[in-house]
């Protein structure tokens, strides 16, 4: 129970940080966090790592599709 609560807190924090990002960066962050959590069984490190990768993917998409 504690692990899933921590995951929700981490994802909520990432969503808050993504508030000043573009739409694609936000979608990448949330999607990456969800995939990272699913791939690691709810690990906070997996969630944060996935979110970081997703954010960078969204940033790259924005840079190449102007």
Residues 6+ apart with CB under 8 A from 15: 26, 29, 30
Q: Two tokens at 61?
A: 């998409």
Per-domain residue ranges of the chain: 2-64
SS3 sequence of the chain: CHHHHHHHHHHHHHHHHHHHCCHHHHHHHHHHHHHHHHHCCCCHHHHHHHHHHHHHHHHHHHHHCC
| pLDDT tens sequence across 8-55 | 777 777 666 656 678 888 888 888 888 988 898 888 888 888 888 988
Summarize pLDDT for 19-28 with one digit per residue, the tens.
Answer: 667 888 888 8
The answer, as to whether pTM is greater than 0.85, is no
Q: What distance in Å separates the CA atoms of residue 53 and residue 59, rounded to the nearest whole number? A: 10
């Amino acid at each position: 129970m504690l692990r899933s609560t921590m995951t929700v807190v981490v994802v909520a924090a990432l969503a808050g940080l993504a508030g000043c990002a573009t739409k694609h960066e936000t979608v990448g962050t949330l999607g990456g966090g969800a995939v990272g959590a699913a791939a690691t069984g709810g690990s906070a490190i997996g969630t944060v790592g996935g979110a970081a990768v997703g954010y960078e993917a969204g940033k790259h998409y924005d840079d190449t599709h102007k």
